[in-house]
Copies of this chain bind each other. A is one copy, B any other.
């Protein structure tokens, strides 16, 4: 009989805790206002100068998939990351482009208001408000 492989084919791979991944997570948590990957890269590099851009991107993706950080994909610009990981909505300033959290309870029943889903299986939604932030109103 053939020797059993250590891991059945369906089992997901072990995710390892590398120093780079830990530093990326800490960087997102230390930056409170929705940093871009470039912001995260800059912070991590100040502690670990040889880290690669690709590693930062890869780990932001892994952490977002895990649920450790929230990835916010905004119009017209780089993705933002948020240590705040329960679902919430965002507002973007039309002038400076900055992103802020919106103080509004999530609309859990929103998908049920769709009149005809045309067979779509709706799983989630995001809302992005657009406006002008207080400091750009001058």
A residues whose Cβ falls under 8 Å from a Cβ of B: 73, 75-76, 91, 93-94, 100, 102-104, 110-111, 113-134, 137
Contact = CB atoms under 8 A, between A and B. Distances in A.
A105 to B, nearest CB: 8
A102 to B, nearest CB: 6
Contacts of A125: 127-130
A75 B128 CA distance: 11
A30 to B, nearest CB: 22
Given A103-B117, A120-B129, A124-B129, 12 more contacts: A93-B120, A103-B114, A103-B118, A104-B114, A111-B129, A120-B131, A120-B132, A120-B134, A121-B132, A122-B130, A123-B132, A125-B129
A123 B131 CA distance: 5
Given A73-B76, A91-B122, A137-B121, A103 B130 contact: no
A123 B130 contact: yes
Contacts of A103: 114-118
A119 B134 CA distance: 5
